[in-house]
Amino acid sequence: MIKTVIFDLGGVIVPLDFPRGYRAMSERCGLAPADIPERIRTTGLVPRYECGEVSDEEFIAGLTGVLGFEATRAEFRALWSSIFPSHTLIPESLLLEIKKNHRLVLLSNTNGLHFEMILENYPLLRHFDDYVLSYKVGAMKPAPSIYTEAIAKAGCAPEECFYTDDIPAYVEGAKQAGIDAVQFLSHEQVVGELRARGVAV
Phi, psi of 133, deg, nearest 5 = -120, 135
Q: How many domains, in total, are found in the chain?
A: 2
DSSP class of residue 34? G
Residue 27's pLDDT is: 95
Domain limit, last residue, from 36, 59, 80:
80
Given pLDDT bands bounded at 50, 70 and 90, which one contains residue 80? Answer: very high
Domain region containing 45: 18-80
Sign of the alpha-carbon dihedral angle for 10, 14, 20, 24: negative
Please state the length of the chain.
Answer: 201
CA proximity to 153, closest of 104, 114, 86: 104
23 located within any domain: yes
Residue 117's pLDDT is: 96
76 and 99 inside one domain? no
Q: 18-53, pLDDT tens digit by residue?
A: 999 999 999 999 999 999 999 999 999 999 999 999
The whole-angstrom separation of Cα 178 and Cα 161 is: 9
Write the CATH number for 141.
3.40.50.1000
